[in-house]
Amino acid sequence: MLHYALVFLVIAIIAALFGFTGIAGAAAGIAKILFIVFLILAVIAFFRRAS
């Protein structure tokens, strides 16, 4: 999940450099959502393993 978030972040940065603001914004939004989902799943996994 974190890998996909980083991939979309790189796509957003490259698209922003070339001036594709719509694509950059969409890719950044997807990256942010995937990162939040990753954090939630990581916290759940941490607490399940700790107990």
The Cα 31–Cα 40 span in angstroms is: 14
Per DSSP, the three-state class of 19 is: coil
Q: Where are the domains of the chain?
A: 2-50
**pLDDT the model gives residue 45:** 93
> Hey, how many other C-beta atoms are within 10 angstroms of the C-beta on 11?
18
**Helices assigned H by DSSP within the chain:** 2-18, 21-50
**pLDDT the model gives residue 35:** 92
Amino acid at 16: A
> Hey, how many other C-beta atoms are within 10 angstroms of the C-beta on 19?
8
Tokens 């959502």 label which residue? 33
pLDDT 10s per residue in the chain (51 long)? 789 888 988 999 999 999 998 989 999 999 999 999 999 999 999 999 887
